[in-house]
């Protein structure tokens, strides 16, 4: 039972890491000169669906945020927390990626 708990915890951390990476890459993509927020959301969703079930890319949102004189692109992903395999309650993992807008 302990071994299965450790494996499930490792899976949850792996999923969170994948989502964080996809959110960061989507924010960088949206921040590129000539790109837009929709392109960043689409890029993040594509990255998520290549490694996880499509339901993990259902709630991807991008926006702008100011930090002093700098404008940042923020991309937030809300996804299920895998409790039993990849099944779990919706919108319990929330990760955000940020990039400086060019």
Domain boundaries defined on the chain: 2-100
Give per-residue pLDDT as tens, 35-57: 999 999 999 999 999 999 999 99
Model confidence at 91: pLDDT above 90? no
Residues of the chain with pLDDT > 70, as a percent, come to 100
Q: What is the pTM of this model?
A: 0.90
**Paired tokens of 52:** 């996880």
Give per-residue pLDDT as tens, 61-81: 999 999 999 999 999 999 999
């Amino acid at each position: 039972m302990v071994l299965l708990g450790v494996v499930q915890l490792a899976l949850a951390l792996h999923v969170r890491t994948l989502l964080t990476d996809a959110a960061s890459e989507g924010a960088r993509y949206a921040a590129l000169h000539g790109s837009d927020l929709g392109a960043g959301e689409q890029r993040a969703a594509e990255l998520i669906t290549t490694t996880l079930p499509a339901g993990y890319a259902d709630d991807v949102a991008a926006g702008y945020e100011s930090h002093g004189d700098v404008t940042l692109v923020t991309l937030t992903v809300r996804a299920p927390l895998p409790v039993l395999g990849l099944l779990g309650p919706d919108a319990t993992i929330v990760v955000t990626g940020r990039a400086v807008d060019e």
